[in-house]
Amino acid sequence: MRHLLSTRELDRATAVGILDVAEDMADVADREIKKLPTLRGKTVVNLFFEDSTRTRTSFEVAAKRLSSDLVNFSAKGSSLSKGESLKDTAQTLAAMGADAVVIRHASSGAAQVLAQSNWIDAAIINAGDGTHEHPTQALLDAFTMRRRIHGRASRGHDLDGLRVTIVGDILHSRVARSNVWLLQALGASVHLVAPATLLPSELANWPVTVGYDLDEAIRQSPDAIMMLRIQAERMSAAYFPNAREYGRQWGLDDERLARLGPDTMVMHPGPMNRGLEISAGAADSSRSTVLEQVANGVSIRMAVLYLLLASETVA
């Protein structure tokens, strides 16, 4: 593995291998000195063309725990056209000796463009490209599910037989896309629930089942329910009547929470619109994995940086 662009390219063995390395990295987080010398002398660049707090910070913490140098290159607000600015910026980063570039960009395919270009010879990690993919998010979600199920004995396990329901703004969600492919590789089954207006047209080719009724999906008692943020910033038209109506039909409120099984994991990639797609009660309940997801994000990103920069071969 030279880059991490998409979960679609990960087979079961590779995915389980990444999760297992992340387990080793999580052990480091439990130590008093949370640092390994592994990437000393390497330079990781965070190249974010879109706003982000948690993903950018998570990569920063991960890189620093592996003793690499980390440069935050915030490219937002550039007046150059996107193609030009990506090329110019990549060449600049290459000249500075970047070993890995973590890129977030509003255009689907931006990470792949960088990886296939001859502008820069670095490991490229996709941290979210438009509505396309966000592979480290799906990996941290899978890691979180595996840990809730198997605890400290997680190593080697996939997610065979797990039933995961993903709810909400699938259309604009790179998190949903990355999860669909990764969960399939790990043996889980995926059910999508959304208003018809928030489902993509390419859905027919996805390995999922689809429903439109959240209450019906809750009756099926999934092992995990993943609530997605309404991505208002990507919406150019009205996809549902209003926020209150959306919440009433598609939101995980306290009453729906009470109907979920006691062990159903309630997941959300963040940032949450509390009171819209998820109630405060659901977000803060003992079923919620939201903060575990954040903590596990660091372990996953350490694992990915380690596998791309420190070892020649991946599982």
Footprint on this chain of ligand NCD (rule: CB under 6 A):
54-55, 128, 134, 137, 174-175, 229, 231, 269-270
Beta bridge partners of 22: none
Residue with smaller CB distance to ligand NCD, 129 or 158: 129
Q: How is residue 73 annotated by DSSP?
A: E
Residue with smaller CB distance to ligand NCD, 120 or 282: 282
Q: Is 76 helix (H, G, I), strand (E, B) or coil?
A: coil
Measured from the CB of residue 94, what is the shortest distance to ligand NCD in angstroms? 26
**What is the Cα–Cα distance from 205 to 94, expressed in whole angstroms?**
38
Measured from the CB of residue 70, what is the shortest distance to ligand NCD in angstroms? 18
Closest CA to 124 of 95, 94, 96: 94
**What is the Cα–Cα distance from 225 to 89, expressed in whole angstroms?**
39
Contacts of 86 (CB under 8 A, 6+ apart): 105, 110, 113, 114
Q: Is 70 left (phi over 0), alpha (psi -120 to 50) or beta?
A: beta
Residue with smaller CB distance to ligand NCD, 50 or 99: 50
Residue with smaller CB distance to ligand NCD, 232 or 280: 232
Measured from the CB of residue 59, what is the shortest distance to ligand NCD in angstroms? 11
Measured from the CB of residue 55, what is the shortest distance to ligand NCD in angstroms? 4
Measured from the CB of residue 271, what is the shortest distance to ligand NCD in angstroms? 6
Tell me whether residue 72 is exposed, middle or buried, using C-beta atoms within 10 angstroms of its C-beta: 0 to 12, 13 to 18, 19 or more.
middle
Residue nearest to ligand NCD (CB): 229
Q: What angle do CA 143, 146, 147 make, to 5 degrees?
A: 85
Measured from the CB of residue 232, what is the shortest distance to ligand NCD in angstroms? 10
Beta bridge partners of 45: 71, 101
Measured from the CB of residue 297, what is the shortest distance to ligand NCD in angstroms? 8
Residue with smaller CB distance to ligand NCD, 120 or 198: 198
**What is the Cα–Cα distance from 131 to 128, expressed in whole angstroms?**
8
Beta bridge partners of 4: 125
Q: What angle do CA 307, 288, 209 make, to 5 degrees?
A: 75
Residue with smaller CB distance to ligand NCD, 50 or 158: 50
Residue with smaller CB distance to ligand NCD, 52 or 184: 52
